[in-house]
Amino acid sequence: MPTIREVAARAGVSPATVSRVMKGEVPVNAETRARVEAAISALGYAPNAFARSLASNRLGGVGLVISHLAGPFMGRVMMTLEATLRQANVSLLVASGGGEAEREQEAVDFLINRRCDGLIVHADALADETLSALAATTPLVVFNRRVAEIEAHCIYLDNECGGYLATRHLLEQGHRHIACLTGPLKQQDAAGRLAGYHRALGEWGIEADTRMIIEGDFVEGSGERGMTTLLARGLPVTAVVAGNDDMALGAMTLLRARGIAVPQTLSLVGYDNEACSRHVVPSLSTIHAPLEEMAQDAAERLLMLVAGDALPPAMSFTPTLIERETVAPPKV
């Protein structure tokens, strides 16, 4: 593995000049540059990443903190992040936190200790203040979450809009008794979706019935349990908005077991447009998020921050409704 000094010796220049040629920003005499470049390719020189990092105090890589690596859409997000970052010759370090605040903080510390140039954080459990404090010390982008004080650092979906779209779709089909199986309401995404549900009902002049709103945890089982609770209450529900596709799937499992026909007796809308939702029978109507665009924006914003550039204004991403087979007009 040749060093910069060997290259310099071969080209008959000093290491400093080789360094200047490598980064290409400072002007170097054309003929000197050619000699150096020849030496570089002759020796197959590649700069030592450690030495470079030590001297410049930059890693050339960013960290990704993620709550649930095995979550339904992390693959799509990571794929785009990785591709965008690698194009900029920036590497991606991954640490996971499993949705517990303490372990997420550990993950952050782990990456900070590695001297990452910046951080992309996709964490449920960390507090808003922790994140905005972090943003003050490190280039930071927050994924799938909005923290007001650092809005331009946040890449998030307009969940209120998504909840609204789902509910409005059911209203337009004629439903008037619409229940809502939410995610954990201390999480912003779940709360936003519920707010959209309320707004849609409000626009139709319908007062929300709290007995029709059941909090779950975004996991399948809670969809099943929530639906059980809902049925037990004996309300005249004709449609359900689920917190996400997993919960919708859980609900569908229960409904099938109880012999309740979807969508004939009960309509259902999910959220997230997971791969699976297209395959279940009947296929699940749901809300789609432009994850790839969001991930690309996240990577680009982080690169700007790392470069010291100012961020463009904050922007939320808009979800869209995917109509499939779980929604039909209510029976009269």
Partner DNA sequence: GGCCATCATGAAACCGGTTTCATGATGACA
Partner DNA sequence: TGTCATCATGAAACCGGTTTCATGATGGCC
The site for a second copy (CB under 8 A) is made up of 46, 48-51, 53-54, 57, 59-61, 68-72, 74-76, 78-79, 82-83, 86, 91-96, 107, 110-111, 113-115, 249, 252-253, 256, 275-276, 279-281
Query: Counting contacts by CB under 7 A, is residue 308 touching DNA?
Result: no
Of the candidates 34, 37, 40, 52, which one interacts with DNA according to CB under 7 A? 52
Of the candidates 34, 42, 54, 79, which one interacts with DNA according to CB under 7 A? 54
**C-beta of 297: minimal distance to a second copy in Å?**
18
Cα dihedral 207, 208, 209, 211 in deg (nearest 10) = 180
Choose the one of DNA, a second copy, none that binds residue 22, judging by a C-beta under 5 to 8 angstroms depending on kind.
DNA
Choose the one of a second copy, DNA, none that binds residue 295, judging by a C-beta under 5 to 8 angstroms depending on kind.
none
Cα-only R_g, the chain? 26
Coil, strand or helix at 3: coil
Stretch that binds DNA, among 31-39, 238-246, 259-267, 305-313 (CB under 7 A): 31-39
**C-beta of 57: minimal distance to DNA in Å?**
7
Q: Is 24 left (phi over 0), alpha (psi -120 to 50) or beta?
A: left
Residues 6+ apart with CB under 8 A from 208: 197, 198, 201
237 vs 268: CA distance, rounded Å: 11
Choose the one of a second copy, DNA, none that binds residue 3, judging by a C-beta under 5 to 8 angstroms depending on kind.
DNA
70 vs 73: CA distance, rounded Å: 8
Cα distances from 193 to residues 47, 138, 163, 204, 288, in angstroms, run 49, 30, 4, 17, 13
In our burial notation (b when 16+ CB lie closer than 10 A, e otherwise), range 218-239 reads bbbebbbbbbbebbeeeeebbb
Residue 14 or 41 with smaller CB distance to DNA: 14
137 vs 117: CA distance, rounded Å: 11
Residue 61 or 192 with smaller CB distance to a second copy: 61
Residues 6+ apart with CB under 8 A from 303: 84, 85, 88, 90
Query: Counting contacts by CB under 7 A, is residue 70 touching DNA?
Result: no
208 vs 229: CA distance, rounded Å: 17
Residue 29 or 318 with smaller CB distance to DNA: 29
Query: Counting contacts by CB under 7 A, is residue 91 touching DNA?
Result: no
**C-beta of 325: minimal distance to a second copy in Å?**
12
Of the candidates 34, 38, 42, 51, which one interacts with DNA according to CB under 7 A? 51
Residue 86 or 211 with smaller CB distance to a second copy: 86
**C-beta of 32: minimal distance to DNA in Å?**
3
**C-beta of 11: minimal distance to DNA in Å?**
8
Coil, strand or helix at 224: helix
237 vs 6: CA distance, rounded Å: 78
Residues interacting with DNA, by CB under 7 A? Answer: 1-5, 12-17, 19-20, 22-23, 26-29, 31-33, 45, 47-48, 50-52, 54-57
